[in-house]
Amino acid sequence: MKLAGIDEAGRGPVIGPMAIAAVVVDERNVPTLEELGVKDSKKLTPKRRERLFDEIISLLDDYVVLELWPEEIDSREGTLNEFEVENFVKALNSLKVKPDVIYIDAADVKEARFGEDIGKRLDFKAEIIAEHKADDKFVPVSAASIIAKVTRDRAIEKLKEKYGEIGSGYPSDPRTRAFLENYYREHGEFPPIVRRSWKTLKKIEEKLKTEIETKKPPRKGQLSLEDFMKK
């Protein structure tokens, strides 16, 4: 029996791509993947994920990776969940080896609905199991999560070669925020590698615009607030 797993990496960051990986593995190879230590990518170090990448691929019957860059994410018509469903379907339909069962890491609050939305758009028949934390429960999804995460990590490393320290690309990362603020101060806009529809950018823009306004020298004949207070 052929089993598929599908997962994404980089749904939440403000910088760089979202990567989606769909993998197909013969059920006989699942124990070997387990022995290799294939588990949820978030529980592995970047070095460990890199080492596992080629070993996983050598055990797969087929796999597909999509890299979705900010421009594509920003120009989506629906919600991020709908965008994810659309691209999960695209990845699964691109597989040359069609699976009998598909394990999906569900992005929707309602797991079953996420699975149904994907199932009805597939161009082949398969049993679908969509669950939260599937990357922690099902080896095919763990394998897909590692492939997706390594793909995104590599993309971020390439961006660092061009832009310097950009952090992880997540809005909560102080290095990412510092990079975005410094870049905006220097260029008056954000680099083309950011997701412009993310609220983080609007907040940074507002903060820096206020900062720029308060630093502007007063017009002739007009006292600055500081000088006014000294009087």
CA distance readout (Å), 124 to 4, 102, 163: 13, 11, 43
> Per residue in 8-29, is it b (16+ CB within 10 Å) or e — as a string?
bbbbebbbbbbbbbbbbbeeeb
8 Å CB contact between 136 and 14: no
The tokens describing 173, both together, are: 């990362």
Residues contributing to the annotated binding site for a divalent metal cation: 7-8, 105
Element spanning 128, H or E:
strand 127-131
Backbone φ and ψ for 140, nearest 5 degrees, come out as -60, -35
Residues contributing to the annotated binding site: 7-8, 105
**How many CB atoms lie under 10 A from the CB of residue 177?**
17
Which amino acid, one-letter code, is at 118?
I
65: β partners: 21
Task: Please give the angle made by the CA atoms of 53, 59 and 64, to the nearest 5 degrees.
Answer: 65
**How many CB atoms lie under 10 A from the CB of residue 5?**
30
